[in-house]
Structure 1
């Protein structure tokens, strides 16, 4: 009888503690649905675990991003630009809070940047998502915005965004990762570190990596040592040069500044080659 009781106690313990372990295991990014927009990898290893408050993964049909609750802005946003995403949908201008953020998190609103001297700067540009009204509207969620110096947003960055779409229109496609880091930028009202009563950080630097391919299938397998990779790192200031080409750098330099692994889905040898190059191609 004693042996039988001992056996049932052990069995009961295995069931109880086994269930508890399963219940508290956090969901890893590898368990999440694959996204077209993470074809090149997940730069910061972001997950949708609520404990990752400053590296929280949001997967939208139109893009993917890592969000920082404490900074009130994305760390990076990743997306694909191809003819499948371009059409004739109008710009929606429906800036709004992203209600998909976890309950209890502060949600940056459409008016959070008002009077700050900074634009609500898109990471994924509105004009990269014009196939449908829904696609375009998705770009106006505030989780896709950073406080961006107006001249930076409307001139330097707009020129790079236009150039990327021009490449798509002549037979290319692009995988784009944009992000920001540091604290403190200079907008039309002068320098500042935060806005919205300290709840939104103004980044010091804004960067972008664009991987350019001829349109086709099985994109990841078509990237080789000759693939054009445009890496740009700029100061978030209103006196920024309008020529984005002057800010070209290496992916390695951006990785060193951010701690991210930007092209992690590629073979390591290919990463080493592509990430060490400074693009010298045309800029318009």
Structure 2
């Protein structure tokens, strides 16, 4: 199903936290693979924007703003997952990938993060979050990863555990593409995901980076221990993704060890995060 999307949506706001925080930059090779909309690789929706890979059919990055002070309760009932008619359908992985298996249609920018502002804005963002451009394949236990559901609760945790100024957070996230990703139904499925949360606390700009690994096997049951979430550095995510993040995020992260994922302990719970 393809659904029309009104042009002119505001998209991600780089000045949301008070100073400019540009979305990830694509190097030359990645830029050639990016879907262009009106001459730009940044495709706007309500409260978020993304860059879409032609070759993989998933977003390389999604950038979104969260206004925790004006979040609204908006029902998701009756909203279908749909392709965006502004973009050629062949560059979007739709229901043909997700039907009849354990793959979830996983939101990259969380629906709950986007439904803020006026009632009209919140409802528009709610609907926009269901475009397949904001969706990636996640095993059905994905958001319960690392024992305490760390991955699915990162945004909630920053509000609970950090003194977030004005209750505003900017988030970035997406899959990590590798040449040896497993192919399923003609689509290579990403097995790693990344996320960065940026915010201001006590007048100080902070940025925290995270990595999740999942063993994707649509044919077998998975134990929750198959998932691993780690707090990492922005530098490591640049190495893994090929993206370039804003210098301010490089300077403000937790400077977590660059040890390989197999050589360090995953986050056992939200209390392990260095905010």
From 147, 151, 156, the equivalent of 2:137 is 147
Structure with bigger gyration radius: 1
Alpha-carbon contact 2:69-2:167 (below 8 Å) kept: no
For the pair 1:182 / 2:182, whether they are aligned, the reply is: no
Which residue of structure 1 lines up, in the alignment, with residue 206 of structure 2? 228
Residue of 209, 231, 234 corresponding to 1:248: 231
- Find the aligned partners of 1:69 and 1:202 in 2 and give their Cα distance: 14
TM-score, normalisation: structure 2: 0.67
Q: Aligned partners of 1:184, 1:52: CA distance in 2, in Å?
A: 15
* 1:62-106 CA distance string (max 9 Å, x none): 20111012111111101111136511211244211111214x634
Which blocks of at least 5 consecutive residues in structure 2 are unaligned?
A: 1-9, 117-121, 216-221, 258-266
Alignment partners' CA distance in 1, 2:110 and 2:124 = 14
Aligned equivalent of 1:212, options 199, 202, 207: 199
Q: 1-side partners of 2:250 and 2:42: how far apart?
A: 26
d(CA) in 1 for partners of 2:134, 2:114:
13
| Structure 1 gaps, min length 5 | 1-32, 186-191, 216-221
The alignment of Structure 1 onto Structure 2 pairs a total of residues equal to: 226
Deviations 1:141-189 (A, max 9, x none): 000011112222343422224324546997532110001113499xxxx
Contact 1:73 1:201 in 2 (8 A): no
| SS in structure 2 of the partner of residue 69 of structure 1 | coil
2:21 is matched with which residue: 40, 45, 48? 40
Structure number with the higher strand fraction is 2
1:58 match: 43
Q: 1:76, 1:239 → 2: CA distance?
A: 28
TM-score (norm 1): 0.66
